[in-house]
Amino acid sequence: MTEHETGSAAPAAADPAPAGARQWLREHSELGVAVVLLALGGLVVVDALSMSTSFAQRGPVGPRVVPLAVGGLLIAIAVALTVDVLRGGKGEAEGGEDVDLTIPPEWRTVLLLAASFIANIALIDLVGFPISGAILFWGSAYALGSRHWVRDPVIAVVLSVSAYLLFQKLLGVPLPGGPLEGI
Amino acid sequence: MDTLSNLIEGFATALTPTHLLLAALGVLLGTAIGVLPGIGPAMAVALLLPLTYSMEPTGAFIMFAGIYYGGMFGGSTTSILLNTPGETAAVVTAIEGHPMARKGRGSQALAAAAIGHFVGGIIGTTLLVLLAPMVAKMAVNIGAPDFFAIMLLAFIAVTSVLGSSRIRGFASLAIGLAIGLVGLDPMTGQARLTFGSLHLADGIDVVVVAVGLFAVGEALWVAAHLRRTTGKPIPVGRAWLSRADLSRSWRPWLRGPVIGFPFGAVPAGGAEIPTFLSYVTEKRLSKHRAEFGHGAIEGVAGPESTASASAAGTLTAMLTLGLPTTATAAVMLAAFQQYGIQPGPLLFQRESQLVWALIASLFVGTVLLLVLNLPMAPLWSKLLRIPRAYLYAGILFFASVGAYAVSGDVLDLVLLLVIGLLGFMMRRFGLPVLPAIIGVILGPNAEQQLRRALQISDGNLSGLVNTTFSVTVYAIIAVILLWPLIGKAITRTRTRTPESVR
């Protein structure tokens, strides 16, 4: 399940009727959105309240007012959304050209994509963009079901190296070069 | 005649070889990326932003204008040949365009779309030239309370007019506003939501937010539901029109901008509503009404011209008021801010040369679009066959390049992933993305106007409503907010039956 669903699914295990409760939570997984909104709202409010406003206030409205309003809005919407979901309201999942909503979501694909993404984050400053970018592309293509053992890595490396050269040399936007540094 | 001389000067800037090349490059890239399934114009502009980091602003915006117009056109190609519109503006085109393609009239549908874009673009841009300086001149005199009212209107309109659920629209907006809060308070320098991070003190870069929500969120969402059997695009030849087609198309082409331009300029979701209105109008006015639903060319010509003119209307609001009415305009506004340029009434005075070069390049781009796309339609349709694995891997790849290039900090990539997951959640649970991006971009601006207005009135709340303009805007906001109630009241008095539960 998604990360926001696991959060609300955890207490289900302690429930006396786990199967029924799990079913109920699955149908009301949108409550996870309300949890996210509530958490975000709480964070904004706490941050605003912990701000010291004694110094440098210019004008009648200090730096805390708008964050408090936004935090309050988030919390209010979290409540309203909870009510809406419990009354049977449902957000419509977004369709699209390549989206097939009739099949159940494939979390494996999403996790593998996130893993490729995180690999790029972890490696980019260590081994440079040409290598980490190629890993990102190949990993993502693999996650999405491409299994060409020669074509995939070749495309990944060519794309990564040419993107590096394009940005570094032609456009003057610096990227960490790794082994290509200084060429 | 001031306008005319400005425009001529603009053409002088836009027609230099470098700028002409950038416009052509923008149109080609925009069309190519717009044709690619799954990528709409907003994502196209967001992904291509990093290409312009090292360019001077005029060249960069000339290229963006090309990308915007090209991306809008590219979406219609997908609609016609694959029956899968990549963006809301092209949804209506699919209704008649795809049946035409199936009947072997794909070339004619593409030509009607391309010429429709040309006509709509030229008329729309002409209206922009005539109206924008006037609007800007009027808007110069409006003050902080008026700006705050306009931005509030944008927030309310974007959450209420579009989408099926207001709560979810507001949820999206609030998320965007919260993201916009991150960083140092511009008026006092107080750190807000930075958690001690120096990088966050600069705020979360709008490019990271836009790319995260549009590109990463979309790629993850599509990946979770990837269609295993992708539709086969219908092959087409060179786009052309017969005399009979022409005589059926020219009126819809000319009617389109009348509907499209005003709708593009107001924050009601860009091209979605006007293209639908245009379709309905053409259906009603057509002599071939029976053909509608089975490939009537009027149903392609009208909406495409409307969509193109609405893009010009959108740019009018964005340039003169700093008000983004569509996702693409929001991303372009972010691009302006990247250069330290704030679109708004003063833009026409401060950056006169840049604005007029941009406007002139819209004309240039529209012409280039027609010249390039009529003969290149078969080539574009080949792009529809790209393996989906490479397409979405490529989106993630370029999203990462773009986010990293913003400031060369890995933290931006982490933020990109977090915002991408947020975008995934929003798509899964029907939260529209547009209010969030509008919140991120306009939020900080609205706060500043609010505080400035209250500073002037010394904290008195009446300082927010002390102009006729702001009172009018608040009245409009009230009508939008109360509209469901008003609508209910009307139907109730009309039918005198108890309202049914939805």
The reported pLDDT for the residue numbered A97 is: 67
Residues A112 and A65 in one domain: no
The residue written with tokens 């509503």 in the block is B273
CA distance A99 to B224: 8
A18 pLDDT band, cuts 50/70/90, is low
Q: Which residue has the higher pLDDT, B94 or A40?
A: A40
Paired residues of B183 in beta bridges: B192
The reported pLDDT for the residue numbered B88 is: 67
Q: Is the pLDDT score of A14 beyond 70?
A: no
Tokens, residue B359? 């406007």
Query: What is the signed CA dihedral for B17, B22, B26, B32, rounded to 10 degrees?
Result: 80
Contacts of A117 in chain B (CB under 8 A): 216, 396, 400, 413, 417, 420
The reported pLDDT for the residue numbered B501 is: 41
Query: What is the signed CA dihedral for B440, B441, B443, B447, rounded to 10 degrees?
Result: 140
Residues A120 and A81 in one domain: no
Average pLDDT value for residue range B355-382? 85
Q: Is the pLDDT score of A64 beyond 90?
A: no
Given an 8 Å threshold on Cβ–Cβ distance, is A96 in contact with B219?
no
> Does residue A101 lie in a domain region?
no
B211 in Cβ contact with B397 (< 8 Å): no
The residue written with tokens 């230099």 in the block is B16
Q: Is the pLDDT score of B113 beyond 80?
A: yes
- Phi and psi (nearest 5°) for B341? -105, 130
Residues A81 and A126 in one domain: no
Q: Choose the most confident range, by mean pLDDT, from B262-276, B369-383, B410-424.
A: B410-424
Lowest mean pLDDT among A37-41, A115-119, B482-486: B482-486
Q: Which residue has the higher pLDDT, A97 or A145?
A: A145
CA B100 to chain centre: 27
The reported pLDDT for the residue numbered B498 is: 46
> Does residue A77 lie in a domain region?
yes
Q: Is the pLDDT score of A47 beyond 60?
A: yes
Separation in Å, CA of A23 to nearest CA in chain B: 18
The reported pLDDT for the residue numbered A54 is: 59
Helix (H) or strand (E) holding B134: helix B106-140
- Cβ atoms within 10 A of the Cβ of B127, count? 21
Q: Write the pLDDT tens digit of every residue in B129-156.
A: 999 888 888 888 888 888 899 889 888 8
Tokens, residue B190? 């107080």
B163 in Cβ contact with B272 (< 8 Å): no
Average pLDDT value for residue range B93-98? 86
Residues A56 and A124 in one domain: no
- Cβ atoms within 10 A of the Cβ of B489, count? 12
Separation in Å, CA of A121 to nearest CA in chain B: 6
Q: What is the mean pLDDT of chain A?
A: 82
Chains A & B: contacts with CB separation below 8 Å = 242
Q: Is the pLDDT score of B246 beyond 90?
A: no
> Does residue A98 lie in a domain region?
no
> Does residue A99 lie in a domain region?
no
CA distance B114 to B305: 9
The reported pLDDT for the residue numbered B32 is: 85
Q: Is the pLDDT score of A101 beyond 90?
A: no
Q: Is the pLDDT score of B195 beyond 50?
A: yes
Q: What percent of chain B has pLDDT over 70?
A: 94
The reported pLDDT for the residue numbered A6 is: 41
Lowest mean pLDDT among A174-183, B150-159, B436-445: A174-183
Q: Is the pLDDT score of A53 beyond 80?
A: no
The reported pLDDT for the residue numbered B1 is: 54
Given an 8 Å threshold on Cβ–Cβ distance, is B167 in contact with A77?
yes
Query: What is the signed CA dihedral for A12, A14, A15, A16, rounded to 10 degrees?
Result: 150
B332 pLDDT band, cuts 50/70/90, is confident
B229 pLDDT band, cuts 50/70/90, is low
Tokens, residue B116? 């429709």
Average pLDDT value for residue range A86-99? 79
Q: Is the pLDDT score of B369 beyond 50?
A: yes
B180 in Cβ contact with B155 (< 8 Å): no
Average pLDDT value for residue range B389-418? 90
B163 pLDDT band, cuts 50/70/90, is low
The residue written with tokens 């919407």 in the block is A77
Helix (H, G, I), strand (E, B) or coil at B147: helix
The reported pLDDT for the residue numbered A34 is: 93
Q: Which domain holds residue A113?
A: 107-180
Q: At what angle do helices B217-224 and B410-428 cross, to 10 degrees?
A: 50
Residue of A nearest to B457 (CA): A60
The reported pLDDT for the residue numbered B335 is: 83
> Does residue A46 lie in a domain region?
yes
Separation in Å, CA of A181 to nearest CA in chain B: 15
Average pLDDT value for residue range B447-456? 89
Q: Which of A36, A131, A85 is nearest to B167 (CA)?
A: A85
Residue of B nearest to A166 (CA): B51
The reported pLDDT for the residue numbered A78 is: 94
CA distance B245 to B248: 5
Contacts of A43 in chain B (CB under 8 A): 193
> Does residue A97 lie in a domain region?
no
- Phi and psi (nearest 5°) for B183? 125, -170
Q: Write the pLDDT tens digit of every residue in B197-228.
A: 888 888 898 889 988 988 899 899 988 888 77
The reported pLDDT for the residue numbered A138 is: 94
* Helices and strands counted in chain A (H then E): 7, 0
A48 in Cβ contact with A73 (< 8 Å): no
> Does residue A91 lie in a domain region?
no
CA distance B324 to B285: 33
Q: Domain segments of chain B: what residues?
A: 2-493
CA distance B145 to B183: 24
B46 in Cβ contact with B402 (< 8 Å): yes
CA distance B184 to B24: 40
Which DSSP category does A89 fall into? Answer: -
Tokens, residue B239? 């786009």
Closest CB to B174: pick one of A59, A73, A90.
A73
Average pLDDT value for residue range B101-112? 86
CA distance B195 to B169: 28
Residues A26 and A55 in one domain: yes
Given an 8 Å threshold on Cβ–Cβ distance, is A171 in contact with B53?
yes
What's the number of domains chain A is made of? 2
The reported pLDDT for the residue numbered B423 is: 93
Paired residues of B184 in beta bridges: B191
Residues A21 and A61 in one domain: yes
Which DSSP category does A99 fall into? Answer: B
> What ipTM is given for this predicted complex?
0.86
Would you tell me which residues 76-115 of chain A have a C-beta closer than 8 angstroms to some C-beta of chain B?
A: 77, 80-81, 84, 89-94, 96-101, 103, 105-107, 109-110, 113-114
B496 pLDDT band, cuts 50/70/90, is low
CA distance A100 to B222: 8
The reported pLDDT for the residue numbered B418 is: 95
The reported pLDDT for the residue numbered A112 is: 93
Q: What is the mean pLDDT of chain B?
A: 85
Residues A111 and A82 in one domain: no
Q: Is the pLDDT score of B343 beyond 90?
A: no
